[in-house]
Amino acid sequence: MRLSRGKKKTAKPGKDGELERSRAIAPTLEAVYPNARLVRVQLDFICESLPHHAQQAFLLHPPAKAHFAYPCPFGDCTGIYNLQESIARMLTAAVTNDAGSLTCTGLRARQGVPGQPCEQVMNYTVAVQYAQPVTSTRRVAGAVASR
Ligand SMILES: [Zn+2]
With helix as H, strand as E and coil as C, how does 41-75 read?
A: EEEEEECCCCCCCCCEEEEECCCCECCCEEECCCC
Q: Do the domain assignments include residue 30?
A: no
pLDDT for position 137:
53
pLDDT for position 49:
65
Give residue 61 CA to ligand 1 midpoint distance, Å.
27
Give residue 19 CA to ligand 1 midpoint distance, Å.
14
Q: Do the domain assignments include residue 145?
A: no
Give residue 120 CA to ligand 1 midpoint distance, Å.
5
Mean pLDDT, to the nearest integer, of 30-59? 90
Query: pLDDT per residue over 75-134, tens digit each?
Result: 999 999 999 999 999 999 999 999 999 999 999 999 899 999 999 999 999 999 999 765
Give residue 119 CA to ligand 1 midpoint distance, Å.
6
Closest to 70 measured CA to CA, from 84, 57, 56, 80: 80
Q: Do the domain assignments include residue 28?
A: no
Q: Do the domain assignments include residue 44?
A: yes
What domain range includes position 44? Answer: 35-130
Give residue 79 CA to ligand 1 midpoint distance, Å.
5
Higher-confidence position of 86 and 5: 86
Give residue 108 CA to ligand 1 midpoint distance, Å.
7
Split into its structural domains, the chain has a count of 1
Q: Do the domain assignments include residue 125?
A: yes
